[in-house]
Amino acid sequence: LSELEALMERMKRLQEDKEDEEASQEEMATRFEKEKKESLLVISGGICTFPVTVSFDDEIVSTDVSRYIEDPGFGYKDFARRGEEHLPTFRAQDYTWENHGFSLVNRLYSDIGHLLDEKFRMVYNLTYNTMATHEDVDTTMLRRALFNYVHCMYGIRYDDYDYGEVNQLLERSLKVYIKTVTCYPERTTKRMYDSYWRQFKHSEKVHVNLLLMEARMQAELLYALRAITRHLT
């Protein structure tokens, strides 16, 4: 099977499995922890399959980017140290954008919550209902896997989501691309862009980028707004 056909087959199989039998809460929690730990080992340019210590603290930002920034050492840091046994988890059910973040940010800056919410919803729901040459395809499952994987990298878990879908739908090269674009955008290369979903249209892959950026922004907002809420209470 081609990459596209294999992906569509996995989507179909996952949908059938979900209809036949849903995973237990314990199984879903285990799958999340596995995916969360693996995401810490995903690095730009490759994915490690065994525990390693990788530090980017001393890396020098490439000269073509450094001239635009004041602090070359400023950048993404993993939410937990590699090798830690118990990684922190932000349970989305305890603090969600819809139920908590939206109302707080509107209080802090009038109407900005409505604008942000509209932006999140528009990008998340954007679809042509196509996958490359296939039409009338429901891509909801795939879009949710992309969005939730970014939140998983930031330690955010949705209790009602089976993270086994992430592992089934997002192949190695795509996870590398997601981690790079989301956390180290200056390292993104055309080779990475070309390495995943080779049969998809550019417009579909650009939508992936938009989805990743909005997921990252919402994750950052959730952490910041939760901290503000705790301070106010």
Q: What angle do CA 43, 80, 226 make, to 5 degrees?
A: 120
Query: Does residue 110 fall inside a structural domain?
Result: yes
Percent of the chain with pLDDT over 70: 86
Output 44 or 108, whichever has higher pLDDT: 108
Query: Does residue 181 fall inside a structural domain?
Result: yes
Query: Does residue 50 fall inside a structural domain?
Result: no
Task: Give the amino acid at 52.
Answer: V
SS3 156: strand
pLDDT of residue 65: 66
Query: Does residue 29 fall inside a structural domain?
Result: yes
How many domains does the structure of the chain reveal? 1
Query: Does residue 65 fall inside a structural domain?
Result: no
Whether 58 shows a pLDDT value over 50: the answer reads no
- Read off the tokens for 44: 């730009």
Could you give the CA distance from residue 10 to residue 141 in angstroms, rounded to a whole number? 11
Residue 162 burial by Cβ neighbours in a 10 Å radius (0-12, 13-18, 19+): buried
Could you give the CA distance from residue 133 to residue 200 in angstroms, rounded to a whole number? 8
**Structural domain that includes position 224:** 1-44+75-230
Residue 214 burial (CB count, 10 A)? 20
DSSP state of 189: -
pTM: 0.87
